Amino acid sequence: MRRQRWLIALTLSLAAPGALALSPPTNPSLDPTSAAIPPKAQALFTAGNEHLAKKRWAKAEAALAEAVRLAPLHLAARVNLSIAIRRQGKAKLHEALVHAQAACEQDFNVAEARYQRGVLWALMGNAAKAKGEHRWLVSRALPLGPELAAVIEHGAEAADRPLLGAMHLPAEPAKAPPPKGPAK
């Protein structure tokens, strides 16, 4: 009993504000440049993201699946793999859900993973579970909340929408400004 009190007192003293000046813990699987991600998996993740940005779903799936195989805890690769699979049609929704679920289990507080899982549940007709993800996103005032609400309401994702909820996609290339004056 005395030992338990001592442990509780020690725990509370360490948990006191300012007791430890540590930065918040980082999740290396959220940072695709982390040393915890093997270089080959990082290269595949980058290639998969480039395919995603160009809407080459099958190529993105192949690259991201290999990245996940090499680095099973690469959360961003798993989230983006879920997107690549989902975008290939209704026949693959269950397979995509496996990866979205695994990403949520790995880190329950990653909005992109929760959004992907919500979209999948909405597309699979499980509005109740999709609304649960929507509530979670809205309770944190995250911009993906209204986007998920639209998918739930329409039962489909607009084909012209950008890849919402994708993690670490390459930036859109800058377009050259229009030429000034008459062309020569």
pTM of the model: 0.74
Q: Which of 27-36, 81-90, 160-169 has the lowest mean pLDDT?
A: 27-36
CATH match for 30-154 among 1.10.1070.11, 3.50.50.60, 1.25.40.10, 3.40.50.2000: 1.25.40.10
Provide the CA 6 distance to its chain's centre, in angstroms.
41
CA distance 184 to 182: 6
DSSP string, 90-112: GGGHHHHHHHHHHHHHH-TT-HH
pLDDT tens-place string over residues 97-119: 999 999 999 999 999 999 999 99
Are 45 and 165 a contacting pair, CB within 8 Å? no
pLDDT tens-place string over residues 136-149: 999 998 889 999 99
Give the position of tokens 């290939």: 88
The type of residue at 166 is A
Q: Rounded to the nearest 5 degrees, what angle is found at the Cα of 89, between the Cα atoms of 144 and 127?
A: 45
- Mean pLDDT (the chain) is 80
Per-residue b or e along 90-105, where b marks 16 or more CB atoms closer than 10 Å to that residue's CB: eeebeebbebbbbbbe
CA distance 82 to 98: 8
Domain ranges of the chain: 30-154
